Amino acid sequence: MILDTDMNEDVDDAGALAVLHALADRGLAEILGITYCTSARWGVPAIKAIDRWYGRPDIPVGAFGRPGFLDEHADLSYIRFLAEAYGPGEDSAVPGGPEPAAAPARAEAAPGNSPEAAAAIVQAATAPGNNSEAASAIAQAATAPEAAPEAVGLLRRLLAGRGRADAVLVGIGPMPNLAALLDSGPDAVCPLPGADLVRRSVRSLVLMCGRIPEGIEYNLRQDPGAARLVLTGWPTPVVVCDGELGGSLQAGARFCREAPRGNPVRTAYLLHAVGLDWACYDQAAVLAAVTGTRYFRFSAPGRLEVDKEGSGRWTADPSGNHRYLEARFDPAELSRLIENLMLAPPRSGPPAPFLPESSDEELLERRKAALAAHFRSVLDEGLEELEGAE
Ligand SMILES: [Ca+2]
């Protein structure tokens, strides 16, 4: 399995990664690698925190290759607090080296914890060009210890190592990485162009996207060009897990009550969904990618077509290479299954020590303060504009 995720604006990506690890713990999947498909600097360290929790710190994680894609509000997202709370460095700690959590601790200690300080963090973190100590400490904490490989290069490397078409790709975000993979040319790693490499090494692509039979959906809308390229050009079977299906499944409340403190996925759900149930779009796609028809039915073949605005439309077509998923079970039962998988403790046992430096309450307060500072500044800007207009 290779997972391409946009973990940032919604929390189901964190839940989906938990489900993938739980299925791998049951011997049902091998996680070859993970690629990240937004420019948010906190995405890769947040993914790595979850991988470490599940005892798989060595899974390669590829970073998005260009700036400015869907990172506008990343400093307010749970991924930033996850990256900061769980630190980047436990696994790279060397005997006699610096304390693993030193960098994030410094980043937080400097600005403190008041709303003004939270605003300073946001300001520092949103101005990558500025040289303030806080900004560089935050950036360092989030990107250390070593720079992540670039996503498309990592995808090519992972696929080039396959002897046959047995890899399953799961896309649970917008599709710029998958489009770039298809579009990629021969390189030092593999003489095949992207589409041929995919045909040779990939069994199927499972995508969380679209609405059946038609409609606008987030992952299509954020990069319609990439989605069109992938949906028209992907040379293997494509399975579509649409927004209606994922939206009918809910998990998170019981998970937050029963998962242990220190589980970064629980921290993610607390911060993003404040302990409430949340839609399981991405978990559904991962579950289907690993278990096939056990919990889902595949539709007759057809094609999901995407227009320039990111609206999709399903057309039945016996020669199409797309199928969409339908649940074989009651949504409440599938939701329970997904939440049970999210709750399954790591087979390796939780790594110790793994508790975040801050309590749940402190993390929640810090995120609330950052959100409040953001909305205050939006409001102030609006007021200034109004005054200027008078
Ligand atoms: Ca997603």
Q: Any idea what the CATH number is for the domain that residue 7 is in? A: 3.90.245.10
Rounded to whole angstroms, the Cα distance separating 342 from 15 reads: 6
CA 337 to centroid of ligand 1, rounded, Å:
19
pLDDT of residue 142: 46
List CB contacts of 253: < 8 A, sequence separation 6 or more.
Answer: 275, 276, 277
Structure confidence by residue, pLDDT tens digits, 63-72:
999 999 999 9
Rounded to whole angstroms, the Cα distance separating 102 from 361 reads: 21
pTM of the model: 0.84
Other Cβ atoms closer than 10 A to 60: 16
Within-domain flag for 374: no
Asked whether 312 and 209 are in contact (CB, 8 A), the reply is yes
CA 77 to centroid of ligand 1, rounded, Å:
13
pLDDT of residue 256: 96
Within-domain flag for 388: no
CA 344 to centroid of ligand 1, rounded, Å:
21
Residue 244 pLDDT class (50, 70, 90 cuts): very high
Within-domain flag for 189: yes
Within-domain flag for 378: no
Within-domain flag for 81: yes
SS3 210: coil
Within-domain flag for 381: no
CA 305 to centroid of ligand 1, rounded, Å:
20
Within-domain flag for 60: yes
CA 10 to centroid of ligand 1, rounded, Å:
6
pLDDT of residue 389: 81
Rounded to whole angstroms, the Cα distance separating 252 from 15 reads: 9
Total domains in the chain come to 1
pLDDT of residue 352: 64
Please identify which residue in the block is written with the tokens 């070859």: 32
Strands 250-251 and 278-279, sheet pairing: antiparallel
Q: Residue 342 is part of which domain span?
A: 2-364
Within-domain flag for 66: yes
Task: Using the predicted structure, report yes or no on whether residue 113 has a pLDDT greater than 60.
Answer: no
CA 359 to centroid of ligand 1, rounded, Å:
27
- Residue 81: closest CA among 294, 359, 330: 359
